[in-house]
Amino acid sequence: MEDNSGEIYDVVDHDNRVTGQATRREIHEKSLLHRSVHTLVFDSEGRLFLQKRSMAKDENPGLWDTSSAGHLDSGEGYPEAARRELAEELGIDEPVQLFTSLPACRETAWEHVEVYTCATRQPIVINPAEITEGRFIPLADIDRDMRDEPGRFTPTFRLIFPRVFENKK
């Protein structure tokens, strides 16, 4: 299992205002509200890159998720975190655009989430410490798989994807 339990994140209130800082471990043990970012990477054919989370992850191991995702470090902005996670997890550098936001809730693991999109022609090089596998998949195929086997996807992705699919129709 990865050991990033000592990382420091901002603790926030229901309105996403910073109220303090705590370690990752404390935030997750106490279900404190905090922040995360998810990015959806599309190719020139409109397919969405999905990652299968490493089995070493402490949250949702082995499940399919957005292209890249992660917590915001203390004091970090959402767009900066999105770009950092793209580089760390997929080895790409692309501008990102805000797509939607999700309030903190059980399905997001008590994270206020901002979701970004980007398009890339760059080759994706997955970080094996973070991701087991990944590939570009047509949205209709993801929609079918989500209906047939929703448990294969992270709870946060199950909240995000219907918005993506509806937007792309």
Please give the tally of structural domains in the chain. Answer: 1
Residues 90-121 pLDDT 10s: 999 999 999 999 999 999 999 999 999 999 99
Sign of CA pseudo-dihedral 104, 59, 164, 145 = negative
In a domain, 3, yes or no: no
CATH code assigned at 134: 3.90.79.10
The predicted pLDDT at position 7 comes to 87
Tell me how far apart the alpha carbons of residues 35 and 13 are, in angstroms, rounded to a whole number: 10
The answer as to whether 94 is a domain residue is yes
DSSP 72: P
Asked if residue 2 belongs to a domain, the reply is no
The answer to the question of residue 124 being in a domain is yes
Question: What domain range is 163 assigned to?
Answer: 8-168
Query: Is 1 a residue whose pLDDT tops 50?
Result: no
Asked whether residue 150 is domain-assigned, the answer is: yes
pLDDT tens by residue, 39-65: 999 999 999 999 999 998 888 889 999
Q: Are 25 and 87 in contact (CB under 8 A)?
A: no
- pLDDT of amino acid 95: 98
Rounded to an integer, what distance in angstroms lies between the CA atom of residue 111 and that of residue 82?
Answer: 15
pLDDT grade for 4, boundaries at 50, 70 and 90: low
Instruction: Tell me the pLDDT of the chain averaged across its residues.
Output: 94
Query: Residue 53: inside a domain, yes or no?
Result: yes
The answer to whether position 161 is within a domain reads: yes
- SS3 (DSSP) at 105: coil
Whether residue 145 lies inside any domain: the answer is yes
Tell me how far apart the alpha carbons of residues 35 and 133 are, in angstroms, rounded to a whole number. 25
